[in-house]
Structure 1
């Protein structure tokens, strides 16, 4: 499918994950006929550094060196794109500049690498630049953590819960499934033996599955019963089981841990998944008691 989409932004830190992210972004840009922007953010100098007159000269030299490296990557990876590509170097807080540039260029997607959390407390309370981008970005964000990934996408995993299923996530999944001719695997996690909850989850799954199939996209739905792992681990386990190429989640917190650590389930999935994760930021909450897809 070659329907044109908006620009794709790729933050580049020159680590292995950011190069993998660039490779994936180039592949998506080819499929969606999108422009591609490569961005490196040079962190703001400290107050002490600013006291010395030489810091401006050093910073300009650094920016020039970074631009040269970016242009080298652009030439290597972007030369056969049908649309334009460009390089940008900015100074400031990394995640703030990424979201600022994404907004400025009207990005339809951000694709970025992440090394995950280094320590447990950081995972819970601070998060990474990638997670902060996910929380504040004006568009969907794909995070790349694993060492290698297939180009393209055969299987998209779409976890659903009772309270916050939104049109945005399902519609975005359909959009990208069409780009790749991929199958969507819709599933819900049953964390209790409550028959009412089970019945409602099953009805939601069937409704979403039928909606996706009616849009001409391959889909399978499954209710997974777990009792000994967290919601995030259940998502990761299922994604590995079906050999997923992409996991799609909402950046808001899932129903079982509402407001806990500002989205601990989403954060755990982003930090721990070796499969690329697409985070869709919801525009608004829907009435969860009368949810209908249109």
Structure 2
């Protein structure tokens, strides 16, 4: 990875994200873009009178001072970090910065606490995820490890998932992480035989990779819901991260004709990384 964006709101959770970015950046010469969004209204920014202009300048300088103090931490010494202050009003505009700087990843700390229900319900994290064209890593707790070792990536192995699979494979290869591809077989009308699953997966891998070399990394589990299957499998193998796909601005993707990403992101204790379909 070349560039990682970390939105900073001076909270404990944004520091979790910043610390994680530093750890992941050690895997290469990665620049960390620490982004603080100063939510100044258009009424202040567009005023022509000197009093309002002075207010805008005051708030900008105050933010920059607080930002510099926030970034004055021992673990940031000798780190390639670039502070950026924007007068954005909404967190969805983080994607504009990502595109402008050709960033590879956005890392955010989530304030979800009780059942983690706030992660994708009316939160700034949700706004970033829904508008981001690049992967977003969501952390609910302090990232204690130095890197991701085992990553669970659930898929229905349909043609629409090929592009996301290729993005995920490239990213996790750069992070030296092992990707555990997972298919969750469900009961009732969604049930598929072993032969049917084998055929779906083989077709998928031939389309995506042009070979079946990754067939050894495919895992099949049976459960009553996809989210239960993913969470139980992640717990079984001691995974460090769960990866899911989203439909971007239209919200969270629904794999296997049922809800998965919202429930996984809201209930997983592990970090969750989203990829836009």
| TM-score, normalisation: structure 1 | 0.75
- Aligned pair 1:225/2:222, yes or no? yes
Q: 1:61 is matched with which residue: 58, 61, 77?
A: 58
Does residue 78 (structure 1) correspond to residue 80 (structure 2)? The answer is: no
Aligned residues: CA RMSD: 3.6
Q: Secondary structure at the match of 1:32?
A: coil
1:186–1:205 contact (8 Å) kept in structure 2: no
Q: Distance in 2 between matches of 1:120 and 1:32?
A: 32
Residue of structure 2 in register with 1:87 after alignment = 83
On the 8 A contact 1:206/1:221 being kept in 2, the answer is no
Deviations 1:1-34 (A, max 9, x none): xxxx332111011222211111111122221322
Structure 2: 5+ residue runs without aligned partners? 248-252
**Alpha-carbon distance between aligned partners in 2 of 1:165 and 1:97, rounded to the nearest angstrom:** 26
Runs of at least 5 residues in structure 1 that lack an aligned partner in the other structure: 259-263, 283-294
Residues 16 and 139 of structure 2 are in contact (CA less than 8 Å); yes or no, is this contact kept in structure 1? yes
Residue 105 in 1 paired to residue 101 in 2? Answer: yes
Mapped contact 1:141–1:279 kept (Cα < 8 A): yes
In structure 1, C-alpha distance between the alignment counterparts of 2:157 and 2:232, rounded to whole Å: 20
Assess, with a 3 A threshold, how the Cα gap between structure 1 residues 64 and 193 changes in structure 2: closer, same or farther. same
SS in 1 for 2:26: helix
- Distance in 2, matches of 1:280 and 1:78, equals 28
Q: Deviations over 1:225-260 (max 9, x none)?
A: 112xx43343233222222112111113233446xx
Residue 159 in structure 1 maps to residue 157 in structure 2: no
Structure 1 residues 178-193: aligned runs within 5 Å: 178-192=173-187
Q: Secondary structure at the match of 1:31?
A: coil
Distance 1:123 1:173 in 2: 22
CA distance in 2, matches of 1:218, 1:30: 30
CA separation in 1, counterparts of 2:10 and 2:230? 30
